[in-house]
């Protein structure tokens, strides 16, 4: 091709590029255009291969003409590329501005403490006011602390009262918080005022009011001239304060080898207000606070002088108390890890029944 035809062809290519580039909105399309014009096999790029066919005197000029054309086309494509990028940045910030920064933001979903923890803290505060200290004991407990130190020797039928998870190392998952009684007597001696909240484990059938993992709060008061009247008065104060009103209770005899005499203190079922429901097994009452005067054998095992001191102990069913306080009909929800937001609260009898998002 002579020089004139070459120049004409280059002019047509440049005009075509300028037109196509003006219409292009996407960076990807620009890249393909770049290849199809400037690449080795592209309309301009391939002209380089034709230089060899020109007479030696013209080769230099042909090469310069083609390279100059390539630079101009490259400049057109690059300019469009830069313009598209700038447009994208502007669109982004226009989008950000569509958000009115003066509007209040979205509220983050707040967590809250577990109902059992909330009641535990409340119980701790009440007892701290009464001069009690808060102790903890191990959840994996020795057979001695869980049973023997509490006057329940190996052959004692009372061992069957609490179905036990035995561990292969001979220890147990504590069936109650009562082992902390012995540990506290050994640690502090008498006089003594201590509570011990904690998790307990029982190998038992689960239903609306029985879990295999639940919480109790042990209470132990040892001093001179302590009587069962002190115990009942303190238990009533505790329940009234947690429930924020006068709670109906009943006291009946109870048997536990580590107390003598023993009592069962039940509270009115707040779910059905005493009418009878699945939670209270149609009885209208919930067992929450078994207790009694500490058995002399338990005091002796703890190194307490039984000539000088007497004491009372109780094992508050903390999980059940939390159910009564928050109107939770079924104990199983407490260990279910259900974090769905509460969407409604409704008062039924004395209880507040919560409903959750489906
Ligand atoms: C005891 O565990 C005794 N250690 C309590 C005690 C302490 C008596 C000191 C005297 C002196 P009991 O097995 O009844 O007793 O359990 C105490 C409370 O824990 C019950 O009233 C109940 O509220 C709660 N509880 C017992 N088993 C379960 C369970 N499976 N699920 C939920 N709560 C339970």
Given the structure tokens 């102790």, which residue do they identify? 135
pLDDT tens over the chain, length 358 residues: 788 898 899 999 999 888 888 888 888 888 888 888 888 888 888 888 888 888 888 888 888 898 898 999 999 988 888 888 888 777 766 665 566 677 777 777 777 899 999 999 999 999 999 999 999 999 999 999 999 999 998 888 777 777 899 999 999 999 999 999 999 999 999 999 999 999 999 998 999 999 999 999 999 999 999 999 999 999 999 999 999 999 999 999 999 999 999 999 999 999 999 999 989 999 999 999 999 999 999 999 999 999 999 999 999 999 999 999 999 999 999 998 877 777 777 766 656 667 777 7
Cis peptide bond prior to 261, omega within 30° of 0: yes
CB 163 within 8 A of CB 202: yes
Q: Is 182 in the pocket of ligand 1 (CB under 6 A)?
A: no
The finding on whether 211 has its CB within 6 A of some atom of ligand 1 is yes
Burial 219-236 (b: 16+ CB within 10 A, else e): bbbbeeebebebbbebbb
How is domain 115-356 classified at the CATH fold level? BirA Bifunctional Protein; domain 2 (3.30.930)
Six token digits for residue 36: 């199809």
Q: How far apart are CA 180 and CA 310, in angstroms?
A: 17
In 3D space, the residue among 151, 150, 189, 132 whose CA is nearest the CA of residue 304 turns out to be 189
> Each residue of 313-326: b (16+ CB within 10 Å) or e?
bbbbbbbbbbbbbb
Q: What's the 333 CA to ligand 1 centre distance in angstroms? A: 19
pLDDT score recorded for residue 97:
56
Q: Name the residue with the closest Cα to ligand 1, atom 10.
A: 291
Is residue 168 within 8 Å of 127, Cβ to Cβ?
Answer: no
CA distance linking residue 311 with residue 298, whole number of Å:
10
Query: What whole-number distance in Å separates Cα of residue 119 and Cα of residue 324?
Result: 10
CA of 313 to the centre of ligand 1 (A): 12
Using alpha carbons, select from 206, 195, 205, 196 the residue that is nearest to residue 174.
Answer: 196
- What is the whole-number distance in angstroms between the Cα of residue 177 and the centre of ligand 1? 9
Ligand 1 midpoint to CA 193 (Å)? 20
**Residue whose token pair is 């039984």:** 306
The backbone torsions φ and ψ at residue 267, rounded to the nearest 5 degrees and listed phi first, read: -115, 155
- For ligand 1, whether the C-beta of 315 sits within 6 Å is yes
Give pLDDT tens digits for 58-101: 888 888 898 898 999 999 988 888 888 888 777 766 665 566 67
How many C-beta neighbours within 10 Å does residue 59 have? 13
For residue 242, the CA-to-ligand 1 centroid distance in Å is 18
Task: Give yes or no for a contact between 263 and 254, defined as CB atoms under 8 angstroms apart.
Answer: yes
Q: Is the CB of 327 under 6 A from ligand 1?
A: no
Residue 9 token pair: 């062809």
Helix runs in 196-307, H state only: 228-243, 296-301
Minimum CA distance residue for ligand 1 atom 2: 176
**Which pLDDT score, from 0 to 100, does residue 299 have?**
98
């Amino acid at each position: 091709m002579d020089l004139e035809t070459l120049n004409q062809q280059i002019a047509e290519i440049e005009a075509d590029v300028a037109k196509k580039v003006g219409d292009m909105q996407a960076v990807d399309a620009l890249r393909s255009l770049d290849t199809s014009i400037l690449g080795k096999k592209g309309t301009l790029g391939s002209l380089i291969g034709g230089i060899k066919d020109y007479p030696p005197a013209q080769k230099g000029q042909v090469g310069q003409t083609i390279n100059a054309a390539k630079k101009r086309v490259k400049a057109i494509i690059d300019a469009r590329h830069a313009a598209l990028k700038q447009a994208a940045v502007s669109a982004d910030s226009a989008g950000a501005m569509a958000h009115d920064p003066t509007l209040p933001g979205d509220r983050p979903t707040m967590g809250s403490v577990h109902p059992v923890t909330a009641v535990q803290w409340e119980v701790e505060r009440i007892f701290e006011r009464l001069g009690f200290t808060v102790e903890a004991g191990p959840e994996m407990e020795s057979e001695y602390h869980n049973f023997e130190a509490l006057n329940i020797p190996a052959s004692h039928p009372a061992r069957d009262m609490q179905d036990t998870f035995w561990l292969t190392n001979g220890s147990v998952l504590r069936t109650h918080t009562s082992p902390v009684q012995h540990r506290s007597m050994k640690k502090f001696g008498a006089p003594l005022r201590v509570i011990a909240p904690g998790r307990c484990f029982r190998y038992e059938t689960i239903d609306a009011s029985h879990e295999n993992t639940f919480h109790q709060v042990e209470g132990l008061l040892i001093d001179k001239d302590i009587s069962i009247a002190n115990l009942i008065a303190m238990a009533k104060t505790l329940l009234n304060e947690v429930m924020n009103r006068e709670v109906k209770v009943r006291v009946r005899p109870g048997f536990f080898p580590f107390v003598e005499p023993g009592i069962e203190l039940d509270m009115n079922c707040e779910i059905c207000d005493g009418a009878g429901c699945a939670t209270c097994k149609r009885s209208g009452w919930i067992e929450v606070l078994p207790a009694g005067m500490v058995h002399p054998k338990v005091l002796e095992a703890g190194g307490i002088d039984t000539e000088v001191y007497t004491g009372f102990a109780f094992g508050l069913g903390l999980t059940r108390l939390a159910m009564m306080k928050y109107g939770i009909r079924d104990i199983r929800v407490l260990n279910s890890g259900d974090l769905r937001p509460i969407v409604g609260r409704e008062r039924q009898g004395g209880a507040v029944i919560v409903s959750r998002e489906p």
